[in-house]
Structures are given as C-alpha cells and as structure tokens.
Amino acid sequence: MNGCSKFIALGSRLKGIPEVMTLGVKPNFLDYSPTERELITGSPIILFPTLNYAQFLSTLGKKIFPSLETYLYADEKIKQTTLFYMLGIPHPRTRIYYPLHHHQILRDFSFPFVAKLARDSARGRGVFLIQDVADLERYLRLTKTAYIQEYLPHDRDLRVILINYQPALAYWRVRSPGSFKTNISQGGRVSFNAISPEGIRLAQATAKKCRFNDVGLDLIYSGGKWYVIEANMKYGRKALKMKGLDLKEIMRQKLITGALF
C-alpha cells in the first residue's frame, strides 16, 4: 500500500470499501488536488482507472486493475473477434463487411446466420437472427459495418465470470421458448446445474491469453466443440446475487489478500 495505508481507486466500483480511497474520475488531471495527484502518481497500483486514465497510467508504468486490455476491448466485437483468431481461440466463423462489400454477405453465409451491431449490443440488444433477405436488409439499415457470424445451434450458453483470471462464478443462461437469445434481460433463465469443467477451463485460458482480468466470458457448446462467443466487461450481477455472492466483497477479499493483482 501507499503512505496513506489505503489503495487508490478512481472509478466507483470499490466505493465504500474501507481499504480503498476512491477519488472519482475527473475529466482533467489537474482537476485533482495536488495531494490527490501525488496519491495517484505515488500509489503502486490504481484500481478501476476507467478508460479515461488506463492508457496514461500504463504508459507511466503504473500497475492498474483491471488491465488495459480489459478496457480497450470492452464493447468492441470486431476487435475481440480479431484477437480471438490471432490467439487461436475457438470462435464461430465471423466476417466483417463494410458498405462496398455488403453484397458479399450472401456469398459467404447461408441462412440462418447471426448479425450483430459491432458496438452497443450488450444485454442481447443489437443481436439478430437473419433468416431471409428481408431480415438482412433491415439489419443493414441499422449499421454500415456488418458483423456477420455463423449460427451454431444451441439452447444455452455458459457465462463464466473471472476476476484476476480466477473463476468467481459460472452458470448457464438458458434461452426461453421461441427465442434464440439466452440473455437474462431477454427472457433467458439462469441454471447452475451440471456446469462444464471443460468450458470453465477454456474461459480461464481465454482470459489469460487476452489479458482480460475482470470479465464475463460467454461460451457455447455446439457440434461437439466449445466456442468463445464474446467478452463482457459489464457483466450482470443477477446470477451472483442468486448464489448469495457480493461482487464488491469478493474483490475486497482478493484485494486485502493480494490476489487481485
């Protein structure tokens, strides 16, 4: 710890924890008082710096949590897909199309397939099952950058929440009848039964390879194979609460034992 015997945080995720001094996220570094600036530059680790400051602190050689990669790839499906492919992580066949190449989509994919908004598609919003030309045309009116992914039949996906690469919770998200989405906000239900150790191992290996140390990874099992679908840095808390788990207390315990970094 630093001289004030408290860990320094900028974002509010750990606000209220006695071992943490939360300074808030200010738009200009000079908006912090001289004392606060000294705490930031002098602390061995800065917690939840947010994207506003994560890059600057990393350039200064400062240890941060979550990692810079956790911030840079948040809500960036195109970047995540490229990273998964480069790291050899199993991922559904996915291609990106810009306007000049929209006409190639039906050359490369057969109905049905999945189309997503490259950004702002959290909680199942912006995710579409494309079953015919009319569906595709409606989707292309929403975005210039088409994110097209093969549809792998499944009735559930596995969400694995990892904190500093260690699984904190894993659960199935089971889709409701008549829907292809498993998101809880879209009518999916949570199940803690028969969680796959193989799926958890793949999630943990993926988090380590990608350097995502505060993440909810979604995986599906289809055709005898596991696939990593996407990384969610703003993962839900409902399943944690269902299991009687408090995320803030989990992080606090990891913090005071040194397991958070």
Location of each CATH 3.30.470.20 domain in the chain? 156-257
Counting as low any pLDDT under 70, the low residues of the chain are 1-5, 121-124, 178, 182-187
Task: Supply the pLDDT for residue 5.
Answer: 64
Task: Supply the pLDDT for residue 179.
Answer: 72
Question: What is the rounded CA–CA span in Å between residue 151 and residue 105?
Answer: 14
Task: Supply the pLDDT for residue 124.
Answer: 60
- Asked whether the beta carbons of 168 and 250 are under 8 A apart, the reply is yes
* Residue pLDDT, tens place only, 194-210: 999 999 999 999 999 99
Q: What's the half-sphere exposure (Cβ side, CA atoms, 13 Å) at 193? A: 5
Domain 93-150 - what CATH class? alpha beta
Candidate CATH numbers 3.30.429.10, 3.40.50.300, 3.30.470.20, 3.40.50.150; the one for domain 156-257: 3.30.470.20
Residue 184 has which token pair?
Answer: 């809880």
* Residue pLDDT, tens place only, 218-254: 999 999 999 999 999 999 889 999 999 999 999 999 9
What is the pTM for the complete model shown?
A: 0.93
